[in-house]
Amino acid sequence: MIYNVQIKVMPLKDLLDPQGKAVLGGLKNLGINTVSDVRVGKHITLEINAASEAEAKTIAEEASKKLLANPVMEFFEIEMVN
Amino acid sequence: MKFGVVVFPGSNCDRDMQDALQHDLNKEVIMLWHKNKSLEGLSTNDCIVLPGGFSYGDYLRCGAIARFSPMMQSVIEFANKGGKVLGVCNGFQILCESGLLPGVLLQNAHQQFVCKNIFIKNEVTGALKIPVAHGDGRYFANDNLLNELQKNNQIIFNYCDENGNINTASNPNGAARNIAGIRNKTGNVFGMMPHPERATSKTLNNIDGIKVFEYLGLN
Q: pLDDT digit string (tens) for A16-62?
A: 999 999 999 999 999 999 999 999 999 999 999 999 999 999 999 99
- pTM, 2 dp: 0.94
Amino acid B19 reads D
- Pairing label, strands B47-50, B84-88: parallel
A72:B60 CB<8 A: no
Quick one: fold of B3-215?
Rossmann fold (3.40.50)
Q: Which domain holds residue A66?
A: 2-81
Would you call B89 a catalytic residue per the annotation?
yes
Asked if residues B170 and B118 have their Cβ atoms less than 8 Å apart, the reply is yes
Task: Write down the domain spans for chain B.
Answer: 3-215
Which CATH number does the domain housing residue A77 bear? 3.30.1280.10
Alpha-carbon span B161 to B41, nearest angstrom: 41
Q: Give how far A75 is from chain B: nearest CA, Å.
A: 14
> Which tens digits make up the pLDDT trace of B10-66?
999 999 999 999 999 999 999 999 999 999 999 999 999 999 999 999 999 999 999
The number of domains in chain A is 1
Nearest CA in chain A to B173: A18
Asked if residues A17 and A41 have their Cβ atoms less than 8 Å apart, the reply is no
Chain A positions in Cβ-Cβ contact with residue B72 (cut-off 8 Å):
none
A67:B68 CB<8 A: yes
SS3 of A44, please? strand
